Structure 1
Amino acid sequence: MSVLKFEEKVLSHSGLSENDRTWFPRWIRRYALAQRGGVDDDLSVNRHSVLSFSRTLLASGAPAWQRWQAVRAVECYRDLILARSEPDLSDVVLTLAQLGKRERNIELDAPPTEEELAKLRGKVNRNEPILIQRMRGDMRVLHYAMATERAYVRWVKRFSYHVGSQDLQSFGELDIGSFLTSLAVENKVAASTQSQAQSGLMFFYQCVLGKRLGVIISTRVRPSESIPVWFSRGEIERLLEQLVGVHRLMFLLIYGAGLRHKECRRLRIKDVCFDEGHIIVRDGKGNKDRITFLPEQAIPELRQQIEVAKRFHRLDVEEGFAQVYLPHALAKKYPNACQDAAWKWVFPSRQRNRDKRSGTVWRHHIAEEQFAVALKVALRHAKIDKNGVPHSLRHSFATHLVESGTDIQTVQKLMGHKDVETTMRYVHIRPTLGKTVKSPVDTLGDS
């Protein structure tokens, strides 16, 4: 309960401004997401974790003045909860303060203006309940991912349906515990799903409503140790025969280069290097870049797809819709980058749409469901009775590389994993026991 303890101390701390007392607990909750222990245990504060946190905020579009405020919040947590003076973060705070002053042209101690906050909150659906609108706005100010925003809002709405009321301020720990128990007992959800529901409700009550929650008692789902799905080489060949066009190319890249489904959809033209024969993956999981190879079999179709993407780009520029999503810092540094086809998606959507947060009309990348549905159809036509998903191709990529003699460290780099143990969970080598040790039933009659 260290985060709750921090919130209590911050509220009573006379040396902090009203603005800091409001935002420091929110930034600490954002910081706690990156910690394995979560919000219940003491958070680890070291130079690496703080710099990584700041880089994550930068990648998600946080301006320097917000990163300055976030690092100061971690510094305050270190002083009040951990009762330490190490690590020294003064140089990080000073650097961000200088950047922030140049951005805002005012002293950073001044609270953010309504115009700044409105820009960060973006567009919200006015037909939704007021509390949901506030929740979306706060999550955007704290630079949560869009997928996280959708998931948290969905759980708050399900909780509202569970308790039979939209006035959620009158409910508390017992009601949340009852809801989480019903998810485990009646809905049979996975452990990760139940944890996500609890995180969404904790954010809503403690960050949006400012309500202090005690211990939540509920029936917990036991984490499963299931083996993920992967495909044999023969199954890969049969699947490839069933796919055409863009979906075939995405299959070649996900399986052939070990890309995540999201990384494939977010691939930009500038990150495909035909001469060197590799692909640069930007902002992968954990906001890490990496290099993986470009499959030779995919090159002809990839060149054609890039030409299609460039035609869409020229059309958008002519019709006045040249904008493309860029991380906040890059959008400021390169305001005319959208005029260059290099920054456009390799797999653009066929239609333009309005961004739900900024309200900008642009052509985004292909939707998540398209390739997933195409793969399901291909599995059915290829008569492969496996519950495969796009991520199964990444498991197959790692497995087949190791089977062909590639060392595990190389596979780890291509996959973009920090820990080799994570890579090992992707490798599913068939046991060789069949050659030396047989099942007892297969030895009946040998005597």
Structure 2
Amino acid sequence: MRGRALTQAEITALMAVCHNDSTTVGVRDAALIAILRGGGLRRSEVVKLNIRDFNSETGALQVIDAKGGKDRTVYLPQSAIPFVTSWLTVRGYQPGALLCPVRKGGEVQLRRMTPQALLLIIQKRAQEAGVESFSPHDFRRTFCSDLLDAGIDIVTVQKLAGHASPVTTAKYDRRGEETKRRAVQSLGF
């Protein structure tokens, strides 16, 4: 499997460069990274999100017409929600795309970002943060791997990721022999 999982230090560095950028772009990019990291979405799913798809109370994101034509609900961690709500305060609550392009002067354009624009944003922020090159899909890889590492069952991770089969989800499982050894210790005789 190509790509890599991001470390927590790398994610922190990415968020720090966004936080240190007090412009509209910095606020938007922090929300973008929070959604990629916290929701495990494909970049094609992120750019299709509408403002109505986000519930700021629960952190729910309605992913409509995802890969395979299926809809699903994912939940952002509580720690990610403020980044999205801060962006909405700047963006405004007019209907339309959740994440939007921003002009050089800071004007929010109420239209969709392209998947390519999302990639360029991530590459720019990685360079600024001194993080080794990675793709937006690596946030998804990190999401799945971290949940599996935390002991979340593979079917739940499969549903969150929108995988058609747990076989796909299993490719992100980096738990080794020690995890298997510990797992059988709960069995008694």
Place the TM-score, normalised by the shorter chain, in its bin.
0.7 to 0.9
User: What is residue 46 of structure 2 aligned with on the other side?
Assistant: 264
TM-score by length of 1: 0.34
**Residue 297 of structure 1: how far off its partner (Å):** 2.0
TM-score by length of 2: 0.76
Q: Which runs of 5+ in 1 are unaligned?
A: 1-225, 314-340, 352-361, 437-447
User: What is residue 389 of structure 1 aligned with on the other side?
Assistant: 135
Structure 1: distance between partners of 2:126 and 2:176: 25
User: What is residue 177 of structure 1 aligned with on the other side?
Assistant: none
User: What is residue 242 of structure 1 aligned with on the other side?
Assistant: 17
Q: Relative CO higher for 1 or 2, CA cutoff 8 Å, sep ≥ 6? A: 2
Could you say which structure has the higher helix fraction?
A: 1
Quickly say closer, same or farther: Cα 1:305–1:240, change in 2 above 3 A.
closer
**Residue 345 of structure 1: how far off its partner (Å):** 1.1
Query: Does structure 2 retain, via aligned residues, the 8 Å contact 1:255–1:396?
Result: yes
SS at match of 1:242: helix
SS at match of 1:296: coil
1:281 has 2:63 as partner: yes
Map residues 126-205 of structure 1 onto 2, 5 A cutoff: none
Query: Does structure 1 retain, via aligned residues, the 8 Å contact 2:149–2:173?
Result: no
Structure 2: distance between partners of 1:432 and 1:235: 26
RMSD: 2.5
Q: Which among 150, 155, 161 is matched to residue 404 of structure 1? A: 150
Query: Does structure 2 retain, via aligned residues, the 8 Å contact 1:279–1:293?
Result: yes
One-letter amino acid of the counterpart of residue 7, structure 2: S
1:230 has 2:5 as partner: yes
Query: Does structure 2 retain, via aligned residues, the 8 Å contact 1:372–1:390?
Result: yes
**Residue 391 of structure 1: how far off its partner (Å):** 0.8
Deviation track 1:132-190 (CA, whole Å, cap 9, x = no partner) reads: xxxxxxxxxxxxxxxxxxxxxxxxxxxxxxxxxxxxxxxxxxxxxxxxxxxxxxxxxxx
Q: Which runs of 5+ in 2 are unaligned?
A: 19-25, 104-108, 182-189
Deviation track 1:305-347 (CA, whole Å, cap 9, x = no partner) reads: 2344436x4xxxxxxxxxxxxxxxxxxxxxxxxxxx3xx1112
Quickly say closer, same or farther: Cα 1:310–1:242, change in 2 above 3 A.
closer
Map residues 33-432 of structure 1 onto 2, 5 A cutoff: 226-243=1-18, 244-310=26-92, 313=94, 341=95, 344-350=96-102, 363-385=110-132, 387-425=133-171, 427-429=172-174, 431-432=176-177
Quickly say closer, same or farther: Cα 1:265–1:383, change in 2 above 3 A.
same
Identity %: 26
**Residue 290 of structure 1: how far off its partner (Å):** 0.3
**Residue 285 of structure 1: how far off its partner (Å):** 0.7
Query: Does structure 2 retain, via aligned residues, the 8 Å contact 1:309–1:345?
Result: no
One-letter amino acid of the counterpart of residue 397, structure 1: F
User: What is residue 318 of structure 1 aligned with on the other side?
Assistant: none
Query: Does structure 2 retain, via aligned residues, the 8 Å contact 1:399–1:429?
Result: yes
Query: Does structure 1 retain, via aligned residues, the 8 Å contact 2:39–2:75?
Result: yes
SS at match of 2:79: helix
Quickly say closer, same or farther: Cα 1:410–1:235, change in 2 above 3 A.
same
Structure 1: distance between partners of 2:110 and 2:29: 19
Structure 1: distance between partners of 2:54 and 2:146: 23
SS at match of 1:240: helix
Aligned residues: 167
